[in-house]
Amino acid sequence: MRAKCLPAHLPEAEGKTELKSNVSIILCDVGDPTSLANMAKQTSLVLSCVGPYVFFGEPVVKACVENGTSCIDISGESQFLEGMYLNYNDKAGETGAYIIGSCGFDSIPADMGVLYTRDNLKGTLTAVESFFTVKSGPQGPALNDGTWKSAIYGVANKEKLKKIRREIGHKPLPVIGPKLKKRGPVFYKDEFNKYAIPFMDTDVPVVERTQQYLYSQLQETPVQYTAYAIIGGVRSVIKLMFAALLFSILAMCKCGRKLLIKYPDFFSGGFFKRKGQQRNR
């Protein structure tokens, strides 16, 4: 994945943002370590948007760590995030590089939301439940298929993620206060008058890693956390259960993954598209 695609998007920014100084374009390729090292040496911070990160993210992290350059990404892929921690945490400490993942929808609202609630609540916060809802514009919901691909390989590589977590070897956090009860796979939430399911993304593991650090390094009280998604009525539940079953089956085999990647619009019910959401004019 090359940075060469950047100039194609520059005309869109004309007239919207005034650059106060000349900004050069550095061409680099995740398949060319020398080009990545050259890029990392010319800056103090890299914003990495090369998803799916499980395929393209590690060379960028490696180049940044080796050259003492900090890196921020918007990954929502647990295998990548935890794999980078396992492989580069010690080296990053030696070179002074900060590698900060999930700095987007995954998982700033969840991670910072827990900390904000803790800091502004009178007393000791011991548990948080979050509920995610989707509201779309007149054109309907649509996300880029890069996120779709990440989800596909997240399911396909779940055994690899388990292995990474065993190697990291974090001990379970102590439970302070009443234990947060896990809800069922589908349940009705009175506050929303709709059904909800566990939110299957990186929010929970990201929050747990933050809490692990705060507890082990700063001796702060750990907060239990779990996340759910609001999905609608009975009809939505049935449709989602069927789609999730089909998705899981196809994601576990090579030919199934090819179909999912080739036809994201069809298999996601129009939610994921190759070009993502079009801008409203």
Compute the distance between CA of residue 166 and CA of residue 169 in angstroms, rounded to an integer: 5
Average pLDDT over residues 93-105: 94
Give the tens place of pLDDT for each residue, 151-182.
999 999 999 999 999 999 999 999 999 999 98
Average pLDDT over residues 112-130: 95
Compute the distance between CA of residue 171 and CA of residue 100 in angstroms, rounded to an integer: 22
User: What are the start-end ranges of the H helices in 74-144?
Assistant: 78-95, 108-120
Average pLDDT over residues 107-122: 95
Answer positive or negative: Cα dihedral of 241, 242, 245, 248: negative
Residue 28 has pLDDT above 50, yes or no: yes
Beta pairing partners, 273:
144
Mean pLDDT of the chain: 87
Q: What is the reported pTM?
A: 0.83
Average pLDDT over residues 256-275: 86
CA dihedral 229, 104, 112, 72 (to 10 degrees): 150
Residue 87 has pLDDT above 50, yes or no: yes
Give percent helix, percent strand, percent coil of the chain, each to the nearest 5. Answer: 50, 15, 35
Compute the distance between CA of residue 84 and CA of residue 184 in angstroms, rounded to an integer: 32
Residue 260 has pLDDT above 90, yes or no: yes
DSSP state at residue 24? -
Q: Which CATH superfamily is domain 3-100 in?
A: NAD(P)-binding Rossmann-like Domain (3.40.50.720)
Domain map (residue ranges) of the chain: 3-100, 108-273
